[in-house]
Amino acid sequence: MTESITSQPPLLEVEGLTLEYGSGRRWTRVVEDVSFTLNAGQTLALVGESGSGKTVSATAVLGLAGRKGGRIAEGSIKLRGRELVGLPERELRRIRGSEVAMIFQNPLRSLNPAFTAGEQVAEVARVHLDLGRKAAWDRAIEMLDAVGIPDPERRARDYPHQFSGGMAQRLAIAAALCSNPSVLIADEPTTALDVTVQALVLQLLRKVQSDTDLAVLFISHDLGVVADVADRVVVMYSGEVVEQGPIEDLFTTPSHPYTAGLLGSIPALGRGEPLRAIPGTIPPPGTLQGTCRFAERCEHKVAGCQQAHPPLAVTADSRAVRCLRAADLVLEGITR
C-alpha cells in the first residue's frame, strides 16, 4: 500500500497554477499560485465567492483558459503524471470528455437543444468510446438508467427542453460520465436547483463515485453543499488559496477568518442564531499587493496584516493556511 502511494503519481496534480486574463500588454493575475492534488475516488471542493478564481482554475485543468482570453502564466497541471500545460489542442481534445469531463450550473446550456437526450449521450460514446451507432445508443440508454432517469428508453427520444432542471442535470451527468472519465469537474452543479432536487443530484454524484472510483473536483460557493460531498476543501479568496485541509478539520476548526466567515453564513436548520455575515465585498483580482487580501474585511486584523502578503503556510498534516495570526486565533467552526 505504502509502496503504491509513493510510486504512483496522484491522478490530478496542480502545482503553482497562475492564470492571467487580458490582452496585449495588460494582463491581470486572476489566479495566483494555486496547488492541489486529487486522487481517484476523492472529492475535492474548490470553495469561494464569485470572483475568487475557482471556476477559472478548474477550466484551466481542461485546457480551456485560452478560449476565454486567458493564459497560464506559470505552473503545471499533471494528469497521471503527464504534463497538460503546453499540450497541443488536438491532444487536449482527446483528454477532454474522455479522461476529464465537466458539468455546469445550467445543464441546458451544455446540452444541444436540437438533439434528443439519447443522441447527445450516444455522441459521447461514439466519439470517445469508438462505438458504432447501435452500441452507442444502447450505451446511452444504459447511462440514462444509471443516473436515475425513469423510463430511459422513452426519455432518450425526448429533447432537453422536455426535461425539468433536475432531470436535465442528470442527463448532463450521463453525458459527462458516458466515456468513463477518471476526473469529473462539477461547477456549481446544484446551484440552480430546488433544495429537494439538489439533495437527489448530490446523492447521485456520491453513488456514481462509490461505484466507479471517480475523482470529483467540486466547485461551489455553498459550504453547506460541500459538507455533503467533499473529502478535502480548498478555500479561495481573490485569486489565491487562503486555507486547505480535510473537510472535518477545516469545518470544525477553521484557521482562516474567511473560512470561519463562510461557515457562519451557512443557513442551517436549528441554528438558533442569526447568520453571521462577512462585511464588505471581495476585492477584484490583482488589485491588492503586499497585504493580506482579506484584511480589510477581517475582524481579527492587526497592524502587521496590511504590511506584507502572508504566505500559505503548512500548519498540520495536510493542512495549510494563509494568515499571519493563524497560530494565535481560535475561530468558531461548525459544532455538532
Partner 1 sequence: MSALLEVKGLGKTFGGRSRLSLGRGKVVTKAVDDVSFTVTKGRSVAVVGESGAGKSTVGRLVLRLIEPDEGTITFDGVDLRAQSAEGMRQMRRRMQMVFQDPYSCLNPRMSIADSIAEPLVVHDLAGRAERDAKVAEMLDRVGLGSRFARRFPVELSGGQLQRVAIARALIVEPDFVVCDEPTAALDVSVQAQVLELLTQMQSELGLALLFITHHLALVEVIADDVLVMKRGRVVEQGPVTEVLRRPREEYTRDLLAAVPSPIPRVLREGQPLTAT
Region near partner 1 per CB under 8 A, out of 65-73, 171-179, 276-284, 302-310: 276-284
252 binds partner 1 (CB under 8 A): yes
Region near partner 1 per CB under 8 A, out of 6-14, 26-34, 170-178, 228-236: 228-236
299 binds partner 1 (CB under 8 A): no
Helix (H, G, I), strand (E, B) or coil at 110: helix
Report the 10 Å Cβ neighbour count for 289. 8
Considering only residues 40 through 59, tell me which ones interact with partner 1, judged by CB under 8 A: 49-51
199 binds partner 1 (CB under 8 A): yes
Pairing of strands 43-47, 70-79: unpaired
197 binds partner 1 (CB under 8 A): yes
Instruction: Give the C-alpha distances (Å, rounded to integers) separating 199 from 110, 132, 160, 258.
Output: 21, 36, 21, 26
Q: How many residues of this chain bind partner 1 (CB under 8 A)?
A: 46
Considering only residues 160 through 179, tell me which ones interact with partner 1, judged by CB under 8 A: 165
Helix (H, G, I), strand (E, B) or coil at 196: helix
In which region does residue 74 sit, left (phi positive, over 0), alpha (psi from -120 to 50) or beta (all else)? beta
For residues 3 and 198, give the distance between their C-alpha atoms in angstroms, rounded to a whole number: 39
279 binds partner 1 (CB under 8 A): yes
Instruction: Give the C-alpha distances (Å, rounded to integers) separating 93 from 39, 88, 101, 173, 298.
Output: 22, 9, 11, 19, 43
- In the complex with partner 1, the residue whose CB is nearer, 15 or 158, is 158
Task: Kindly state the smallest distance separating residue 212's Cβ from partner 1, in Å.
Answer: 19
- In the complex with partner 1, the residue whose CB is nearer, 37 or 265, is 265
229 binds partner 1 (CB under 8 A): yes
267 binds partner 1 (CB under 8 A): yes
For residues 315 and 321, give the distance between their C-alpha atoms in angstroms, rounded to a whole number: 7
196 binds partner 1 (CB under 8 A): yes
